[in-house]
Structure 1
Amino acid sequence: MLTLSSHDRLPAATLTSSLLVMAIIIGALLGHFAPVRGQWLGDNVDTTLLTMIGLLFFSVRLNVLAQQASNLRFIAIAMVANFIVVPLIGYGVASLFMSAHPLLMVGLVIYFMSPCTDWFLGFTRLAGGNVALGMALIPVNMALQLLLYPVYLQWFTPHTGAVDPPLIATTLLYWFLLPAIAALTLHHTLRFMLGEQRFEQCLTFADRATPWVIALLVLQIFAGNIASILAHRYVFAWLLLSVFVFFVLTFVLSEAISRGCRLDYPEHALLTMTIAARNAPLMLAVTMTVLPGQPLIYAALVIGMLVEFPHLTLLRRILLALRRRRAQASSAVDSPS
């Protein structure tokens, strides 16, 4: 959930992908060959979690929401798709492929149900989509997915049993609402004190630090839980297949909505990217606090995040090809016979 300027988002997404691979490898090796140190890393994730949460909320640009208030029709379309249709698709896919492995299924459902608030804008820009409107989706997506998290968890994963709704509410209050208030207060205080230009440098620093903090968190997860994760390695192929099927179905959904609602190409590209990209970093933080001690759930989120980057790259190519085809068709119609 990185909130970078539109020119920096794609490099940050590529960096995050590389860092995640390195973090998984280093964490797994540490946990396997130095289990005492690995367990210590796994037992001390709270500071990393709070740092990541603070950076995520500090980096949110709230001012763009008011600038795009006139695009309520598109925002409504995106909200219905992201928070009603896509979670139902995700639950169906997870149930079909992972019902025999309930913890991995829970991780997949959590991954599928939360739209991205970060690197999807970089891919939207490179695909020629409406980046300004996409920025307006960020605070809305962030607020709704946190509010709906306990609802989805109870509806879609009732077999977890041990999840207590009041506990979820308390956890979200102390781990997310209060840190969000503190981070946003610091955000606006520094903006006032430093001025726009110098404050933008602070945001850039926070944006660039976030992938490294996410990577550290992933390293700690794998270092402290590699034994449990390796014990279930044989089902990871099914996990990858589930993510692939989900991405195919969500692309079909975005195409159907774009054509049915007659969206112009910039909004079409934006809708495709916001439906495809998921918010694994924030959901990883939420889940580690609400469902502690569940490495398989966390591993499912991390693996989904790894698959997401090549998928978004492929989507960009598909969208650009569609734009060229539209332009050629329009030229053929407009040209005199």
Structure 2
Amino acid sequence: MERLERIWLSIWDRCCSARFLQWGLGAILAWLLVALVLGMFWSSTPDGFDVRNQAELQTDGKPVIGTHTAGTLIHMTETLLDKPGGYLSNDMFPPGLWLDNMPAWEFGVLVQVRDMSRAMRKSFSRSQSQSTEDPALAKAEPLLHFDHRNWILPSSEREYRKALKLLRDYRDRLGDTSQPNAQFYARADNLRDWLGDVSTRLGSLSQRLSASVGQRRINTDLAGDSAGRQSTAADGEMEVKTPWLEIDNVFYEARGTSWALIHLLEAVEQDFGEALDKKNARASLRQIIRELEATQSTVWSPMILNGTEFGFLANHSLVMASYISRANAAIIDLRDLLSQG
């Protein structure tokens, strides 16, 4: 009898162990499936938005010069923080930990947010170099330059939300005629300075995208150095190639940069309209926007393809580089146009 009981107990233990194992595996598979679906949903880039509509919503239908640019900057920052999945660049747990395309997109947008906040602080909100900077913008810019991957004590999101409050304060004072201490100077020279930063960013992105297939380049690091410090090594060629695992990251960073610039340029067209019309430059600005809009076309492939220049497979990075290079060339022409008397 005791032997029979031991046999039944042994069988029961084995069944329980097998059932526990099945439940454990089932739970893991279910979690992985949910994480996969969430990851796909979170990796969808946000849609564009109407700049003029945002300015009207944020100012109760009474936008003034500067509120389009400030409102666009605010809404882009809000999109970074509040889109599906939230801000993913500093996630420490799955599925956000596994995703790399969306964090790259976020960084591209964040760089443009930082550049515009700096332009607003040092140029757009000041009448001249000796004038006092706006106190809210002076505090907001360094907060936006906080490490984008910091997840605790303090987190990146916390610092960016502090910056948002300060940007909203500047926007509200800008639209309040009873508070003349907030200004926005929509001059051609201010716009030209910001476009110089944009051109530099796009030029770097174009080079990084083109390096997806590997290139032999002349080392131009010391080009134009009058001190005669160029060595024979600097005059030679070097091999430049983006690591395979970083190709899609560079692509999505460029895509995020372009998404941000489309909206910022549309806002600039509204706020700097008078300066653009005086220089006959509005059409040039619109052409830049059209070139950048092409970078937002749907990617039908499940992955970023990296074929050779004239090979059988497409190379998405080279296509992106082509659009960005054309936009950058148009920006250079626009800056020349704005510098003319």
TM band (smaller chain): under 0.3
- Which one has a larger percent helix, Structure 1 or Structure 2? 1
Query: Normalized against structure 2, the TM-score is what?
Result: 0.26
The higher-RCO structure (CA 8 Å, 6+ apart) is: 1
Query: Normalized against structure 1, the TM-score is what?
Result: 0.27
